[in-house]
């Protein structure tokens, strides 16, 4: 018999069994919630679409032979329109172990048992506990485990990465971090997309793409830019930024050498956008551009700044959208500094209506989530940093608008 023909028959057989197993694993029979007898059956045309195509006689012949062999092995039962034309195929559930063995496919029940065993060390992890609980719910419904790609070693590495990212205490390059936890400089980069998805979906991050940076894992050094009314004290030197008349950029390594910062004005302003940082003027303010999302290194500098300048006013100026207010709340939560919003109000939006953009679906969700948070009485009473900006949030929803920082002229 022709080798190609034999391989074609084997391919059809694997396809038939896999399709039936797919349907079985999604059925109430598999989950155990069926109240009546349930057959796992699929019309042949949904498995081999060209089966009844007169121009594809070879497929018709190979399919008949493939199905006949599966019947002989008692994997399936086939019903026929005529003696030589198959109608549909039914899985013989009583012999399902043979079907799994034939396809070299792991039974989903075994996978579920394995999952429950290997997640035990992560059940108290801040992010993974939420992820694990959701997967248990999915398992009880017979659904696929999110972010599992049929490779157990790869999945174990993914869980380890999520845990290690949260535990990281220093700014470190991606490849160095990968060597540190896997002894493989490229392993982390392959896992990043799924790790970011898990941490964004089940954690507390502004953007999916900011997850690694916030955890201090970076591709290139990050910088904090500073200008205005302040003096930066470093080992054996003091930089008078105000008299310098220009901004200075401090790399993450340089930030570790900062011994103190003295604010010579009355306020501190953090700014989200670099262009706005360069153009913004306030003689009484120390102005800071955090160089993207704030990570642990940058937050420590802010805390050190606040320790010796607690009498100053602290403001954050950002995009007037859900993301901008989220950054504000995140800053307050992570630093415990009483930041207030600056130029992020209804008046500013109305003065710049011509620069507004419509809200995206994600914008609306974030804004509604923020309103819910601000509506929370317990949140208001227990927070020393509480600021009520529900008016601007509701205005954005009612008028379907948001305003990027670059569009604001002060």
CA 282 to chain centre: 37
CATH classification for the domain delimited by 3-103, as one of 1.10.10, 2.60.120, 1.10.3470, 1.10.1220: 1.10.10
CB neighbour burial string for 258-292, b if at least 16 within 10 angstroms, e if fewer: beebbbebebbbbbbbbebbeebebeebbbbbbbb
For helices 174-182 and 152-167, angle between their N-to-C axes, nearest 10 degrees: 120
Beta strands in 236-335 (DSSP E): 237-240, 248-251, 258-263, 267-271, 285-289, 313-317
The dihedral of CA 391, 406, 298, 360: what is its sign?
A: positive
Which positions ≥6 away from 188 have C-beta within 8 Å? 161, 174, 175, 177, 178, 181, 182, 217
Residue-wise pLDDT tens digits, 214-234 = 898 998 888 889 999 999 998
Mean pLDDT of the chain: 90
Quick check: 258 and 304 in contact, CB under 8 A?
yes
Please state the φ and ψ torsions of residue 30, each to the nearest 5 degrees.
-70, -45
Which long-range contacts link 56-61 to residues 24+ away (Cβ below 8 Å)?
58/5, 58/8
Q: How many helices (H) and strands (E) does the chain have?
A: 20, 14
Q: In degrees to the nearest 10, what's the CA dihedral of 136, 141, 147, 153?
A: 70
pLDDT band at 235 (very low <50, low <70, confident <90, very high): confident
Q: Which of 110, 82, 112 is nearest to 96 (CA)?
A: 110
Residue-wise pLDDT tens digits, 72-112 = 999 999 999 999 999 999 999 999 999 999 999 999 889 99
Q: Which of 296, 297, 302, 318 is nearest to 366 (CA)?
A: 318
pTM for the full model? 0.76
Q: Does domain 220-407 have CATH number 3.40.1360.10?
A: yes
Joined tokens for residue 113: 């048992």
Q: What percent of the chain has a predicted confidence (pLDDT) above 70?
A: 94
**Residue corresponding to tokens 């999520």:** 162
Residue 402: the pLDDT is 97
Query: Would you kindly state where each structural domain of the chain is located, as residue ranges?
Result: 3-103, 108-217, 220-407
Joined tokens for residue 235: 């080992």
Q: Which of 296, 280, 109 is nearest to 288 (CA)?
A: 280
Residue 380: the pLDDT is 63
pLDDT band at 1 (very low <50, low <70, confident <90, very high): very low
């Amino acid at each position: 018999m022709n080798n190609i023909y034999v391989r074609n028959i084997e391919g059809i057989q694997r396809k038939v069994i896999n399709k039936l197993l797919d349907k079985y694993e999604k059925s109430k029979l598999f989950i155990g919630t069926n109240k009546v007898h349930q057959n796992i059956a699929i019309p042949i045309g949904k498995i081999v679409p060209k089966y009844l195509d007169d121009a594809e006689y070879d497929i018709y012949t190979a399919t008949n032979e493939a199905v006949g062999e599966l019947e002989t092995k008692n994997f399936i039962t086939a019903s026929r329109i005529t003696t030589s034309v198959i109608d549909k195929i039914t899985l013989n559930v009583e012999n399902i172990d043979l079907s799994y063995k034939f396809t070299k496919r792991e039974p989903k029940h075994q996978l579920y048992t394995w999952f429950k065993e290997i997640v035990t060390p992560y059940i108290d992890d801040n992010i993974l506990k939420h992820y694990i609980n959701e997967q248990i719910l999915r398992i009880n419904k017979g659904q696929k485990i999110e972010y599992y790609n049929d490779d157990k070693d790869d999945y174990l590495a993914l869980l380890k990465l999520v845990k290690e990212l949260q535990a990281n205490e220093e700014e470190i390059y991606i490849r160095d971090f990968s060597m540190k936890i896997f002894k493989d400089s490229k392993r982390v980069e392959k896992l990043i997309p799924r790790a970011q998805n898990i941490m964004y979906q089940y954690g507390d991050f502004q953007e999916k793409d900011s997850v690694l940076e916030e955890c201090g894992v970076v591709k290139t050094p990050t910088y904090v830019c500073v200008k205005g009314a302040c003096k930066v004290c470093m080992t054996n030197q003091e930089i008078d930024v105000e008299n310098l008349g220009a901004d200075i950029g401090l790399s993450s390594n340089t930030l570790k050498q900062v011994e103190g910062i003295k604010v010579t004005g009355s306020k501190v302003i953090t700014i989200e956008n670099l262009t706005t940082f360069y153009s913004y003027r306030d003689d009484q303010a120390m102005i800071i551009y955090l160089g993207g999302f704030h990570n642990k290194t940058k937050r420590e500098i802010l805390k050190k700044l606040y320790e010796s300048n607690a009498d100053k006013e602290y403001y954050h100026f950002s995009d007037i959208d859900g993301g901008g207010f989220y950054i504000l709340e995140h800053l307050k939560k992570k630093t415990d500094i009483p930041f207030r919003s600056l130029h992020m109000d209804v008046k500013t939006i109305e003065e710049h209506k011509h620069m507004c953009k419509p809200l995206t679906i994600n914008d609306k969700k974030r804004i509604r989530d923020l309103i819910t948070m601000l509506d929370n009485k317990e949140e208001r009473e227990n927070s020393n940093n509480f600021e009520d900006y529900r008016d601007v949030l509701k205005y954005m929803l009612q008028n379907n608008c948001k305003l990027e920082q670059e569009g604001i002229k002060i």
